[in-house]
Amino acid sequence: MRYDTPMPKQNPRRKAAPPTRRGSGRIPPRPTRAERLERERLARPVQQRAEVVAPEGLEPIARAELRRVLGREAMIDREGPPGLIGVTFAGGLRPLLGLRAATSAAVVRRFEVPRPRALLGDEHFRAILALCETVLRLHPAGGFRTLFLSAAGAESAVLARLKEELAGRLGLAVGEEDGDLLLRLRRAPQGEAWELLVRVSPRPLATRPWRVCNLEGALNGAVAHAVAVLSAPHAGDQFLNLGCGSGSILIERLLAGPAHRAIGCDTSAAALACAGANVGAAGLDGRCELHPWDARAVPLPDRSVDAIAADLPFGHLVGSHDENLALYPALLAEAARLARPGARCVLVSHEVRLMERLLDGSPVWALDDAIRVNLGGLHPRIFVLVRRP
């Protein structure tokens, strides 16, 4: 047998078989430009539009928090109605639940329809249903029981059918005057379209879960958080909350960051008991002290406190103007004794003229800011003071 037989010649007209991937057959054709663009679009994080409500006057604090929570790429509207902040961002809705400077937050969807009746169409109804289900999934099962739709003409046959069908598909009851799943329908500001807003939480964000005990006139969570932020919190602080009441400012200060020592004082035993319950519900037992001290005679050394805060009696629900005429100067003097040079003192008061008179030409307190806040018809100021050397 011969082993030098020449190999058969290749047919030059025969095309070579295309290369293959191991175990996958032929290499798929290269995607078109349109297909590549669509894949890139689907790979990008979903763009969300949200509307955040903040106490009027405290929008800068809410904007700073949005930037920190949602990232520098979030596009925050520079202008808008007082107390409303629009923002466009990439990602899920869960970060909105952690906002502490906001009263509430809602996700916004725009529908290119001329009239609400079109929202009952299959495509739009499915989109609304999916949006509601996305919000429901942010919370434990059973967190929502009722649905409420707010809109001009909410009792019309079209909108009544819309909310009834949504409630039925979601397993919720239709609320009479409010609801856990709160929807709002409005005309879009531009174009022939409508916008649907869905609140991302069953209760306003300012209604804190730690508030198991409430006292009349207590600050809501968003304003108390702003007071804590304005005190410029630092981990090494000796922080003092004069007249702590139910503990709103004290709790929000500790939730904003640790402190070396955090103290709340009040002469009311009922207030201290209420504050203790809220501190426990916030999971802050052991991280702060509550004492039955008079804010005008605090048993702490001179110049020993880094930050002081208080929600002073407005003279409406708590105290009177005549009582404040004696209380305010005494409290400012005691705070000056306790504060280290450069310490911040943040005071909430509706006694604006009295505070301005006491601070005018003060040798110990420099007025850093006076922020006008809208609290449901009342317009107190948040006075931010700095202890002079």
163 lies in the same domain as 283: no
Q: In this model, does residue 363 exceed pLDDT 90?
A: yes
Same domain, 160 and 128: yes
State whether 182 and 233 are in the same domain: no
Q: What is the pLDDT of residue 35?
A: 64
Residue 330 covered by a domain: yes
Q: What pLDDT score was predicted for residue 3? A: 40
Q: Is 138 exposed, middle or buried (0-12, 13-18, 19+ CB in 10 A)?
A: middle
Give the whole-angstrom CA distance, residue 385 versus residue 110.
Answer: 44
- Whether the CB-CB separation of 367 and 359 falls below 8 Å is answered with yes
How far apart, in Å, are the Cα atoms of 229 and each of 56, 57, 255?
Answer: 16, 14, 10
Same structural domain, 237 and 377: yes
pLDDT at position 46 is: 79
> What pLDDT sits at residue 320?
78
Does any domain span residue 268? yes
N- to C-terminal Cα distance for the chain? Answer: 111
The reply to whether 241 and 108 lie within a common domain is no
User: What is the rounded average pLDDT of the residues 309-318?
Assistant: 76
Query: Tell me: the pLDDT tens digits for 180-211?
Result: 999 999 999 988 999 999 999 999 999 999 99
Residues 168 and 230 in one domain: no
CATH of residue 76's domain is 3.30.2130.30
pLDDT above 60 (res 21)? no
pLDDT in tens, 352-362: 999 999 999 99
Q: To the nearest 10°, the Cα dihedral for 82, 102, 185, 151? A: -70
Predicted local confidence at residue 26, as pLDDT: 62
User: What CATH number is given to the structural domain containing 232?
Assistant: 3.40.50.150
The predicted-structure confidence for 86-119, as pLDDT tens digits, reads as follows 999 999 999 999 999 999 999 999 999 999 999 9
Closest CA to 78 of 102, 60, 99: 60
Do the domain assignments include residue 163? yes
Tell me if 216 is assigned to some domain: no
Q: What is the domain range of residue 238?
A: 221-387
State which amino acid sits at residue 180: D
Which band of pLDDT confidence, cut at 50, 70 and 90, is reported for residue 38?
A: low
Q: What is the mean pLDDT of residues 252-258?
A: 97
Helix (H, G, I), strand (E, B) or coil at 249: helix
Q: Is residue 120 part of a domain?
A: yes
Tell me: do 191 and 233 sit in the same domain: no
Residue 364: alpha-carbon gap to chain centroid: 35
Mean of the per-residue pLDDT values of the chain = 91
Pairing outcome for strands 305-311 and 238-242 = parallel
Could you give the 3-state DSSP secondary structure of residue 8?
Answer: coil
* 345 in the same domain as 259: yes
pLDDT at 376: 84
Q: What is the predicted pLDDT for the residue at 5? A: 46
If one counts the domains in the chain, the total is 2
| Cβ neighbours, 10 Å, residue 383 | 23
| pLDDT value, residue 2 | 42
Residue 211 is assigned to a structural domain of this protein: no
Convert the pLDDT of each residue in 280-296 to its tens digit: 999 999 999 999 999 99
Whether 308 and 343 have beta carbons less than 8 Å apart is answered as: yes
Report yes or no: 127 and 196 within 8 Å, Cβ to Cβ: no
229 and 195 inside one domain: no
| Euclidean distance between CA atoms 84 and 106, whole angstroms | 11
Structure tokens at 227: 């007071």
